A and B are shown apart, each in its own frame.
Chain A
Amino acid sequence: MTTQKILLKLTVNGEARQALVHPMSRLLDVIREDFCLTGTKEGCGEGECGACSVILDGSLVNACLVPAIQAQGSTMRTVEGLAGVDLSPLQQAFLHHGGAQCGFCTPGMLVAGTYLLETDAVQDEDRAREGLSGNLCRCTGYVKIVDALLAAREGRP
């Protein structure tokens, strides 16, 4: 890439961050390499698996498809920002229900699930499944992930 680097400034998990990057770098690489937030994963690099899901200015996006410049001035949440002192209710439900097996899809699932809960898109099992359909998991067959999401919505463990 020959283009000039830009100073990218954004709020990541509530903290002001900046990095000198090529404007067309993938946001995924900026998150992983420049911000050292390796919780966000790369499973395909083509927008199919959702392992790289992050919440960018209130929208759920695949960070592997977003050029860095698009994140200029934005507010971003990654899996590292989901827990407070303790796990979030969704993280707790994942732990309790066995929603994570190998754990590689899990950060993306949690970010997508958090987005779905916050946008009230989990009224029932069908809606939960639809909401998660951009995130692939090869380990679980989704049953326990869906259960965790429904439990978190109802405030159950």
Chain B
Amino acid sequence: MNDYAHIGRSVLRREGRAKLTGAALFTDDLKIEGLLHGTTVRSRVPRGRIMGIHFEEGFPWEEFIIVTAQDIPGKNVVAHLIQEQPCLADGVINHAEEPILLLAHPDPERVQDARERVRVDVEPLPPVLSIEDSLRCDPVIWGEDNIFKTILITKGDPERARAKGHLQLEATYYTGAQEHVYIEPNAIIGEATPDGVLVRGSMQCPYYVHHALHELFQLPLDKVRAAQVETGGAFGGKEDYPSMLACHAALLSWKAGGRPVKIVYDREEDMACTTKRHPSRTRIRSAFAADGTLLSLDVEFLLDGGAYMTLSPVVLSRGALHASGPYRCPDLRIHARALATNTPPHGAFRGFGAPQSLFAIERHMDEAAHRLGLDPAELRRKNLLRTGDAMATGQIMRDEVDLIALMDRALAEIRYAEKRASYPVLNAGDEPVKRGVGFSVFMHGGGFTGSGETMLHSVAALEGTADGQVRVLAASTEMGQGANTVFTQVAAEALQAPLDLIVVATPDTGVVPNSGPTVASRTTQVVGKLIQDAALAMRKTLLDAGYLQDGDVAAAIRAYVAQHGTLRTESQYQKPDFVQWDDTTYRGDAYATYAWACYAADLRIDLVTYETQVADFVTVQEVGRVLNPTLAAGQIEGGVAQGIGWGLNEEVIWRQGSMANHQMSNYLIATAVDLPRIRVFFEERPYAYGPGGAKGIGELPMDGPAPALLNAVQHALQITPRQVPMTPEVLMDLVEGA
């Protein structure tokens, strides 16, 4: 049953036609007069001191725009949470891809050629290249102890509870870096004069870029502007990094007297230099009663943050808040730290810390089940949260979700019980291909962590136009996830207007209010709600003014605007009353709500090639009301594909603090033949505070695949894998070492 005109329907993607005909213009497609092409000269050394910069003699350098740290008009910083990361290295180098100097020229080939003719002399210093080195403070490279941020969550007395355990288990889990590989590499165009700075490009968060430009140039806020251009995928990879590119392009333009400067990274530069998912190390010490009841958890969660703090504290926070999984545990301690190393800063990537800690707990639960002689499903049945239970931070689970039923549905879809019993029998034969089935249960908090949403004060607005249209004004960007379409549906529903009346404005800080960054699965859940409220307010305004008697919204808007000049309604974020959070103690409602899921995998592992093929993949999730089934399923399928990649194939190989395999030919993302038909099932329970009852879903599908896959590997081969990616090489070592 659907009582809605637009919500819950697979409305076609608003910008779909343009994307299908080649008409959609991405940054590199824009034709711009007088354009210069910019490029970046970088360090090749993970840590050191700059001793000198040499320009090859006899080369016509006068043709080029050259920018160093000395040319920066304001502060040499790419401002984010704190003002720390330099825009251009000045004296010291903290990672091997650190930008030192910028060049621009009208001819893109000339500028690449020139880059090779600049030599930076660096006196190397000993680098920190791993979590272990960073912990040992060998040497200290950041603050007093290499620690960007520490978070401690405690409840009860985990040590005492541990002593009462029938099973005491300790294990350490590792996850590797992951590159986003959005198919459109980073691209930005900057134009900067003392009168103002304008940056356009591929980005998730125009107001982050706006803030960074404001600090870099020390210009008033209304003299800087950032506008998004059609963005070819992001996944967190265009959350903070475009601020760096924006600063670079704008600086070159500034030095060139305001001529527009474009910087487009090629694939190699994009892979090597931009952010990646934080590598992690998670040690879990647990205790269980003989019947499988979880008694105690002690989790040490460590993230490799790279050379600058950037977003690491927030990634750490989300990781820590998901570290105990969807389980009841009366006595626990979660001790989380983000550490500095001399690698390029790690950053946002779909899931934002949660995939790392959920991988550890979901593997750990399977190991515990094995040790207790219980089926992993039985163990979870004993411990899964129920409505009214307390979570790690003391948050009471309010969502009316039956996690056991959710799990059972996924297990039934993949025929878990049958395969759990039959595969070991099959595997005992001589066939080199072994089968395994496994699953994971998990949740993902929607919106910013803790008081984050309150501090953002997000605003979205609606504007009626003289010709009877409605413009949605929000800084939230369309990057493929469907924001344009969902915003249109929500606005049209609340206004009781046809879809065609609604136009989503380009996120341009000169035009739209700050609805916050396009991150944290918050766009539909949080910003969608603001748009719904603004649309309801607009409808009320029209009704109150007596314009809507016959229900023709377009005519009412035309009449209103003709009479009053403008029609604009706004809505600002108000936290739901029940949300209470204390940032100092980490107690309270970590997220207003969560999406919940169980993912199950059926694998074939070839013991000749050590290749793992995913034969079937089932996802069941509770995400509030699904606003657009086709778009929502597309989010799940795409996220699962990335999760499978992180679990099995996508390995970043580090050499002296740099990504050595920075090409698509040796960092392998899945092709259509590598993946099964990912199966998507939704349980819908409308969430009272989301637009039309929706919750966030963007990141959820990244969390579940890796542990489900490795749990299936344990079932197939009777080994205990504890790291991702589980590449053929890693698997071979495990099997042959076993």
Q: Which residues of A contact B (CB under 8 A)?
A: 1, 32, 36-46, 48-49, 51, 78-80, 82-83, 87, 91, 94-98, 100-107, 110, 125, 128-130, 132-146
**18 A-B contacts, Cβ less than 8 Å apart?**
A41-B183, A45-B266, A83-B21, A91-B20, A91-B21, A94-B16, A95-B20, A101-B482, A103-B18, A129-B672, A135-B672, A136-B664, A138-B233, A138-B235, A138-B669, A139-B638, A144-B630, A144-B637
Whether B25 pairs with A38 at a CB distance below 8 angstroms is yes
B92 interface residue per 8 A CB criterion = no
Which of A38, A95, A132, A139 lies at the interface centre, i.e. has the most chain B CB atoms within 10 A of its CB?
A139
Q: How far is the CB of B487 from chain A (nearest CB, A)?
A: 16
Please count how many residues in chain B sit with their CB below 8 Å of the partner chain's CB atoms: 58
Residue of B nearest to A48 (CB): B664
Q: A46-B665, A79-B22 provided; 11 other pairs, C-beta below 8 A?
A: A41-B183, A43-B184, A44-B664, A82-B21, A94-B20, A95-B20, A101-B634, A102-B182, A138-B182, A143-B634, A144-B634
Whether B631 pairs with A98 at a CB distance below 8 angstroms is yes
Whether A104 pairs with B21 at a CB distance below 8 angstroms is no
Binds A, one of B26-34, B54-62, B522-530: B26-34
Whether A103 pairs with B480 at a CB distance below 8 angstroms is yes
B663 interface residue per 8 A CB criterion = yes
Q: How far is the CB of B152 from chain A (nearest CB, A)?
A: 36
In the complex, chain A residues whose CB is within 8 Å of the CB of B232: 41, 102-104
Q: How far is the CB of B622 from chain A (nearest CB, A)?
A: 20
Q: How far is the CB of A153 from chain B (nearest CB, A)?
A: 15
Other-chain residue from B20, B639, B665 in contact with A106 (beta carbon distance below 8 A): B20
Whether B678 pairs with A143 at a CB distance below 8 angstroms is yes
In the complex, chain B residues whose CB is within 8 Å of the CB of A133: 671-673
User: Once the chains are docked, how many angstroms separate the CA of A141 from the CA of B230?
Assistant: 21
Residue of A nearest to B234 (CB): A102
B515 interface residue per 8 A CB criterion = no
Specify the main secondary structure of chain A where it touches its partner: loop
In the complex, chain A residues whose CB is within 8 Å of the CB of B481: 101
User: Once the chains are docked, how many angstroms separate the CA of A142 from the CA of B642?
Assistant: 11
Whether B19 pairs with A103 at a CB distance below 8 angstroms is yes
Instruction: Produce 1/0 per residue, B9-47, CB < 8 A to A.
Output: 010110111111111111011010000000000000000
Other-chain residue from A46, A97, A134, A141 in contact with B267 (beta carbon distance below 8 A): A46
Whether B21 pairs with A102 at a CB distance below 8 angstroms is no
* Given contact pairs A42-B28, A100-B13, A101-B482, A87 touches B664 in the complex (Cβ within 8 A): no
Which of A37, A44, A51, A135 lies at the interface centre, i.e. has the most chain B CB atoms within 10 A of its CB?
A44
In the complex, chain A residues whose CB is within 8 Å of the CB of B10: 98
User: Once the chains are docked, how many angstroms separate the CA of A138 from the CA of B482?
Assistant: 15
Instruction: Produce 1/0 per residue, B607-631, CB < 8 A to A.
Output: 0000000000000000000000011
Whether A129 pairs with B267 at a CB distance below 8 angstroms is no
In the complex, chain B residues whose CB is within 8 Å of the CB of A106: 19-20
* Given contact pairs A80-B22, A110-B20, A138-B669, A43 touches B13 in the complex (Cβ within 8 A): no
Whether A100 pairs with B16 at a CB distance below 8 angstroms is yes
Q: How far is the CB of A48 from chain B (nearest CB, A)?
A: 4
Closest CB pairs A-B (n = 3): A39-B22, A102-B480, A104-B232
Whether A95 pairs with B13 at a CB distance below 8 angstroms is yes
B415 interface residue per 8 A CB criterion = no
User: Once the chains are docked, how many angstroms separate the CA of A37 from the CA of B31?
Assistant: 11
Q: How far is the CB of B369 from chain A (nearest CB, A)?
A: 29
User: Once the chains are docked, how many angstroms separate the CA of A49 from the CA of B12?
Assistant: 26
